[in-house]
Structure 1
Amino acid sequence: MTKDDRPVLVVTNLDDPTADIVIAELHDRGVPVVRFDSGDFPATLSCSAFIGGTGGWRGSMQTPSRRAELGAVRAMYYRRPSGFSFPHLDRQDERFAVAQARYGLGGVLTSLPGCLYVNHPNRIGDAEYKPAGLAAAAAAGFVLPPTLITNVPDDARAFIKEHRRAIFKPISVPLYLVDGTSQTVPVTEVTADEIDDSVAGTMHLFQQRVDKSADIRVTVIGEQIFAVRIDSGLLDWRTDYGTHTYTPVATPPTVQRAMRAYLKHFRLVFGAFDFALTDSGEWIFIECNPSGQWAWMEPPTGLPMTAALADLLEGGLHGQ
């Protein structure tokens, strides 16, 4: 099999327009793509893997329309696949089957020989721990707002009183449904009087509110950096995309160095960084999403992010 015949695996859920755009770009370049969702297993996804002696995994993965040889995958674009599910089994048998699928099929997918991961599933898992991300950001040299993670109500009240204006935001955002519709859990401003004993029930993240003039989303794709200023006038710009204006901006060298250090720490090749921009021009680190969205910013800015990601996937490890 030649390099040109080696496929890119795209692992994501069925409804992923960002992945659709990247797949279309790869298709236009003649790069073979095998797309699947882990939730397809075992109904429409099968895998047989062999290892022994020297060398890595041999065998294949197969969907109804595509087949990928495990030793010939050039790159994997790991987005947001759904979880394994076996609804026809009782709860105990389903737990067992899910574990076998996760550590069996999932284990094979995380150890493919010669494969570039964008990003590696295990590295995504590491980086999605917000406390770990904040610690890595501080070590990398970013400026962070004062932050408290706690389940002690009195400590939360004291923090809010000390910093006067504070916000609450989720540490992690699982699927949250209201009347059957997926909802964004927004960042909200909070006062000390609003803190009650329910805070003791689990961990909460409180942060000093940044007096910002705009937000900045920086998408790092391999060696390329795409920074976009987002003007919305909102505390949480994700709550109303209709208010936004987008402007490409240059990234300060100090921020670039910190982003590289951050990505190196987690061994990521892609990251979507969020910053608050102050009136004085300071970039305040908010977070980095290792599976963040980016495609909606390309049309209004003209930034070639799709091409950059396709370049990365097409080149595989040989392009690094």
Structure 2
Amino acid sequence: MDGRPVLVCTQDEDATADLVIAELNRRRVPVLRFDPGQDFPALAVLAARTGAGGWGGRLTVGERTADLSAVRALYHRRPNVYATDGGRQTARFAAQENRRGLGGVLGALPGCLYVSHPQAIARAEYKPAQLDVATRVGLTVPATLITNDPVEAKAFCAEQPSIYKPLHAGAYDIRGEPAGIWAAPVGPGEIDGAVARSAHLFQAHVPKVADARVVVAGDQVFSARITAPPGVVDWRAEYRSLAYEPVTCPEGMRGALARFLADFGLRFGAFDFAVTADDAWWFLECNPNGQWAWLQAAAGLPITNAIADLLANGASHHD
């Protein structure tokens, strides 16, 4: 593969990655797209060697080969977990070796810009860490309780209007159909012993009039106001009934967002805020690898170009 390539690690069907790859192709930036979890070792061959300048060697996927020492950037989108094959014990061993071998090399490429580094993304997915960092960088955070104590939960929900939301947006099925667990109001009368079965996140309910999603890619910031029907707590449950408009972040917030991402070592973040009638923005969460393609289309935000800029420029312009 001629020139310094960009590696794109994601699943076969990823319309968001497709937009970025198309833009990189338009700019004549070489791209090697593959899914480490699915393609290795059946479709991909790794031959990596240590050297004075860091890891070198090659990664071959099908008929395309990338020089590991020349990778300018790695776009970690949404690859599958490392696949298993064979007996259970052997399969578990192989999957862990693949994750630490291929994944370890991909996470230690010399001169490579990561958008973002897989380990940074993993660390930033913990909501308690997010809320701590958000508070420290100066963002406004609602009162929050994380507990498995029904007595504590009941007392918290009696103190103020509250919501419950999951700590992780994992896959969940109801009667075989995929379903989302959205943030929802909860009162003290709804708290029972089931709280003791796992950690729960309860948060003061912000009296919002709208939501805002802020996408940060490198030093570029894009914001959209999202208006849902009255009474909707979690706008993700009402995608078909939303209105969007591009807006500007409040004065001083850009610096706080940059400090938030720097604390986690991220170069991308999709932030969610609740917006009140006095135009105060309350931090809810940051998805370190969040979706943005639908927002680009709905609010007219050039996010594809911003991410392509990061990847095409590579580490020399940022590190």
Tell me the TM-score normalized by structure 1: 0.95
Q: Which residue of 2 aligns with 1:312?
A: 310
> Within the alignment, does 1:119 sit opposite 2:116 as a pair?
yes
User: 1:102-251 alignment to 2 at 5 Å?
Assistant: 102-163=99-160, 165-233=161-229, 234-251=232-249
Quote how far apart the aligned CAs of 1:277 are. 0.3
User: 1:1-150 alignment to 2 at 5 Å?
Assistant: 5-38=3-36, 39-52=38-51, 54-86=52-84, 88-150=85-147
Q: Distance in 2 between matches of 1:42 and 1:157?
A: 51
Letter in 1 for 2:108: S
Quote how far apart the aligned CAs of 1:95 are. 1.5
Q: In the superposition, relative to structure 1, how do residues 66 and 180 fare at CA in structure 2: closer, same or farther (>3 Å)?
A: farther
Q: In the superposition, relative to structure 1, how do residues 280 and 13 fare at CA in structure 2: closer, same or farther (>3 Å)?
A: same
Q: Which residue of 2 aligns with 1:280?
A: 278
Letter in 2 for 1:201: R
Q: Distance in 1 between matches of 2:185 and 2:14?
A: 31
Tell me the TM-score normalized by structure 2: 0.96
Q: Distance in 2 between matches of 1:172 and 1:84?
A: 20
Quote how far apart the aligned CAs of 1:180 are. 4.3
Letter in 2 for 1:227: S
Offset from partner CA, 1:209-260 (integer Å, 9 cap, x none): 1100100000001111001000113211111211111111111222112111
- Structure 2 residue runs of 5 or longer lacking an equivalent are none
Tell me whether 187-196 or 109-118 shows the greater mean CA deviation: 187-196
SS at the partner of 1:18? Answer: helix
Letter in 1 for 2:89: Q
Letter in 1 for 2:246: P
Offset from partner CA, 1:92-149 (integer Å, 9 cap, x none): 1111111111111110010000000000001101111110011000001011111000
Q: Which residue of 1 aligns with 2:264?
A: 266
Offset from partner CA, 1:156-185 (integer Å, 9 cap, x none): 00000011x111111012222334443222
Tell me whether 28-37 or 296-305 shows the greater mean CA deviation: 296-305
Offset from partner CA, 1:72-106 (integer Å, 9 cap, x none): 100011011110121x3222111111111111111
Q: Which residue of 2 aligns with 1:289?
A: 287
Q: Distance in 2 between matches of 1:254 and 1:135?
A: 19
**Runs of 4+ deviating beyond 4 Å:** none
Q: In the superposition, relative to structure 1, how do residues 42 and 181 fare at CA in structure 2: closer, same or farther (>3 Å)?
A: farther
Offset from partner CA, 1:10-40 (integer Å, 9 cap, x none): 1111221100111111111111111111222
Q: Count residues with an aligned counterpart.
A: 315
RMSD over aligned Cα atoms: 1.3
Letter in 2 for 1:183: A
Letter in 2 for 1:290: P
Tell me whether 39-48 or 303-312 shows the greater mean CA deviation: 39-48
Q: In the superposition, relative to structure 1, how do residues 280 and 167 fare at CA in structure 2: closer, same or farther (>3 Å)?
A: same
Letter in 2 for 1:169: K
Q: Distance in 2 between matches of 1:291 and 1:207?
A: 23
Offset from partner CA, 1:266-319 (integer Å, 9 cap, x none): 111111110000001100000111101111112232221111111111000123
What is the percentage of aligned positions where both structures have the same residue?
49
Q: Distance in 2 between matches of 1:128 and 1:34?
A: 26
- Structure 1 residue runs of 5 or longer lacking an equivalent are none
